[in-house]
Structure 1
């Protein structure tokens, strides 16, 4: 009973940390983007660049995570990152200087990586060491809760607070989230065995598998970032949907909350790669629904599909990375996220440029869906490589 209570506390610490670093520090920018454009003079191109700089910070954090093996150092950086997330959120409401905004968004990206990668790695390591199922579905519910919560809070504040005050409210929410996120995650165990005495052993994939896996995850990152960054502005510019952007963003968050748990169950039945392929196909549909069919109903359905798949893909990929490297899960998680992060720098910049040139964000969605299609093809190829690697391993064991 005590062990189960501790497991729930650890998972809850992860949920609160993700709501803080992703919901507050990272994705609050999306529902606040229109009001910042109206009240703070933020231009379309500058909005895209701020998003790209945020993802550059996330990429930098992923690079750092991929280079660190020391669990104690990871734990320290995770805790520092949560505090930085709050500071960066407060700074966004203190100025209209785009340069300061850019610095704030960069460090918010670093903080996001600390919570997402270092925190997730620490939690997966704890689960494995305590002989719990190595699945992160419950933990990653924090992403959906963060997105839905930010959308709901922004919608409530929009009519009675200005853009500065809304950033300060998010800062206060972050301070509340910080307490359980720090207190409920125990210091890491640095021994090389689980609580039952089983030796932890890394089983890395083949170099070809890893390269294809990273390439497919790059495509997933591109497909994710365009909708995640611009969906509120996209919906608000569609015929008859002015002012409905926050509602659609809320639907993304609602779709994401149970997604990881659902995809854990699907992966148990179909295998991880088959689950990833299915999620990728459904995500393409979700991305294109608003521009292909128009109307609020299609946009909401597309948002639920999008939210229900992108978080599932992240959860499945990072869980797979942790299983390959149980002694240092954040190391491969960081490498995978480098691919995801590069796409998240390129995607907003391209979309912002296309919107400036064409007067519409729609082209960005079509490009995102096309890149996702390439990623799906890479996942299908990855199944063949996995089969080849398993056969090769079996032959070596038989000798």
Structure 2
């Protein structure tokens, strides 16, 4: 348990492991449950005649729109109040949204609360991990960051296991059950956030401005582009994997569910493994490895490697769905090590770019799929090309920096 408690310059201390648990709880609530739990709920919502299929799809998009809004205004929230206060409020908002969605009052009601759940997820993504990692020794930031974002993987796994069990009790009871889980995680995280000395914010900002000439702007812009392209590369598996196995390969829904479980298992361990790799070789090199592995994994269905290849593909892409996040956050902090006040803004920009291209790719690939007559291989090819381009941008930026 070395480095479990970190002494701060002002004499106070921060329990790193308790903070890590708080961060993991935030990512599980804001992303893992608020976003991914909706996927298995969608057929039940349509089947219970809460909303027609076309309308229910828009409700799914409401969460993505809210996520983008949350990523954009998280910094504004943090300027209005202490970061810990904002984080607690966002987790409570997600819990309240689950309760509200248990009652389909109207389309507008449901849309607003799905948007609110997305907003909480975007704000939690931008604020939670940086608040914790600022109090973690640099040699352990990869692993701690991975542990924080493993909450996303737990949510993906829960979407294929816990949610179907809750649905046996009824749709309303499922939403209320998710609210209870969310509220319990909020309580667990409540006192895990680091204390913030807001009086030190201004000098840090001035210090960053004084060193503006050394600001790694080009490398940082390249990182934003890479991360956004990575979002595109993940979309084919995130949206079409189950359908590809069930209908494209003719294996049926039950068989397809097994591949989604593998995807979820990969998502649980992915952030921990990628974070551990970053601690050993550095965030820059770990990112490059991630782009190469993802490129191969997304391309495997195209290569016709059979069930074994598709299993590997499912696990690896699942692993990097949340696993890429701590690598990019760590790289942002690495590039801005001498500009700590700029780190939150840079991470917000990276998260926003990821959210925009992920949503755009989701709609764009859906259009490509329908216009190509249901050609799954085109989707995987586009995802592979996006990851190849991300790798090329990273290598070019590294060479130019030298």
Calculate the TM-score normalised by the size of structure 1: 0.82
Identify the residue that residue 224 of structure 2 maps to in structure 1: 214
- Tell me if structure 1 keeps the 8 A contact 2:67–2:118: yes
Q: Could you tell me how far apart the structure 1 residues matched to 2:173 and 2:321 are?
A: 30
Report the CA distance shift for 1:98/1:172 in structure 2 as closer, same or farther (over 3 A).
same
Q: What is the aligned counterpart of 2:194 among 178, 183, 186? A: 186
Q: Could you tell me how far apart the structure 1 residues matched to 2:165 and 2:256 are?
A: 14
Q: How far does residue 67 in structure 1 lie from its aligned partner after superposition?
A: 5.2
Report the CA distance shift for 1:315/1:3 in structure 2 as closer, same or farther (over 3 A).
closer
- Tell me if structure 2 keeps the 8 A contact 1:57–1:109: yes
**Between 225-234 and 370-379, the greater mean CA deviation after superposition:** 225-234
Aligned residues: 380
Q: Does 1:249 align with 2:287?
A: no
- Tell me if structure 2 keeps the 8 A contact 1:232–1:246: yes
Q: How far does residue 317 in structure 1 lie from its aligned partner after superposition?
A: 0.7
Q: Does 1:237 align with 2:247?
A: yes
- Tell me if structure 2 keeps the 8 A contact 1:31–1:249: no
Q: Does 1:174 align with 2:182?
A: yes
Q: Does 1:333 align with 2:347?
A: yes
Report the CA distance shift for 1:254/1:73 in structure 2 as closer, same or farther (over 3 A).
same
Q: Could you tell me how far apart the structure 2 residues matched to 1:370 and 1:10 are?
A: 38
Q: Could you tell me how far apart the structure 1 residues matched to 2:401 and 2:159 are?
A: 39
**Between 68-77 and 315-324, the greater mean CA deviation after superposition:** 68-77
Q: Does 1:147 align with 2:189?
A: no
Q: How far does residue 147 in structure 1 lie from its aligned partner after superposition?
A: 1.6
Report the CA distance shift for 1:361/1:205 in structure 2 as closer, same or farther (over 3 A).
farther
Q: How far does residue 35 in structure 1 lie from its aligned partner after superposition?
A: 3.6
**Between 317-326 and 198-207, the greater mean CA deviation after superposition:** 198-207
Identify the residue that residue 17 of structure 2 maps to in structure 1: 8
Gap regions ≥5 residues in structure 2: 6-14
Q: Does 1:165 align with 2:144?
A: no
- Tell me if structure 2 keeps the 8 A contact 1:65–1:330: no
Report the CA distance shift for 1:361/1:174 in structure 2 as closer, same or farther (over 3 A).
farther
Secondary structure (helix, strand or coil) at the match of 1:84 reads helix
- Tell me if structure 1 keeps the 8 A contact 2:245–2:251: no
Q: How far does residue 336 in structure 1 lie from its aligned partner after superposition?
A: 0.8
- Tell me if structure 1 keeps the 8 A contact 2:82–2:196: no
Report the CA distance shift for 1:16/1:69 in structure 2 as closer, same or farther (over 3 A).
closer
Identify the residue that residue 390 of structure 2 maps to in structure 1: 375
Q: How far does residue 237 in structure 1 lie from its aligned partner after superposition?
A: 2.8
Q: Does 1:386 align with 2:401?
A: yes
Q: Deviations over 1:153-189 (max 9, x none)?
A: 124345x244443333222211221111222223324
- Tell me if structure 2 keeps the 8 A contact 1:350–1:364: no
Q: How far does residue 110 in structure 1 lie from its aligned partner after superposition?
A: 0.9
- Tell me if structure 2 keeps the 8 A contact 1:61–1:109: yes
Q: Could you tell me how far apart the structure 1 residues matched to 2:236 and 2:280 are?
A: 31
Q: Could you tell me how far apart the structure 2 residues matched to 1:327 and 1:263 are?
A: 26
Q: Could you tell me how far apart the structure 2 residues matched to 1:295 and 1:248 are?
A: 13
Identify the residue that residue 95 of structure 2 maps to in structure 1: 86
Report the CA distance shift for 1:276/1:77 in structure 2 as closer, same or farther (over 3 A).
same
- Tell me if structure 1 keeps the 8 A contact 2:45–2:56: no
Secondary structure (helix, strand or coil) at the match of 1:243 reads helix
Report the CA distance shift for 1:200/1:310 in structure 2 as closer, same or farther (over 3 A).
farther
Q: Could you tell me how far apart the structure 1 residues matched to 2:258 and 2:386 are?
A: 26
Gap regions ≥5 residues in structure 1: 388-399
Q: Does 1:302 align with 2:313?
A: yes
Identify the residue that residue 391 of structure 1 maps to in structure 2: none
Q: What is the aligned counterpart of 2:130 among 121, 126, 146? A: 121
Identify the residue that residue 11 of structure 2 maps to in structure 1: none
- Tell me if structure 1 keeps the 8 A contact 2:242–2:260: yes
Q: Deviations over 1:61-101 (max 9, x none)?
A: 12113556649433322221111112222333322854444
Identify the residue that residue 65 of structure 1 maps to in structure 2: 74
Q: What is the aligned counterpart of 2:234 among 199, 212, 224? A: 224
Secondary structure (helix, strand or coil) at the match of 1:222 reads helix
Q: Could you tell me how far apart the structure 1 residues matched to 2:297 and 2:327 are?
A: 19
Report the CA distance shift for 1:153/1:288 in structure 2 as closer, same or farther (over 3 A).
farther
**Between 341-350 and 358-367, the greater mean CA deviation after superposition:** 358-367
Identify the residue that residue 140 of structure 2 maps to in structure 1: 133
Q: Could you tell me how far apart the structure 2 residues matched to 1:374 and 1:276 are?
A: 13
Q: How far does residue 201 in structure 1 lie from its aligned partner after superposition?
A: 6.5
- Tell me if structure 2 keeps the 8 A contact 1:52–1:348: no
Secondary structure (helix, strand or coil) at the match of 2:35 reads coil
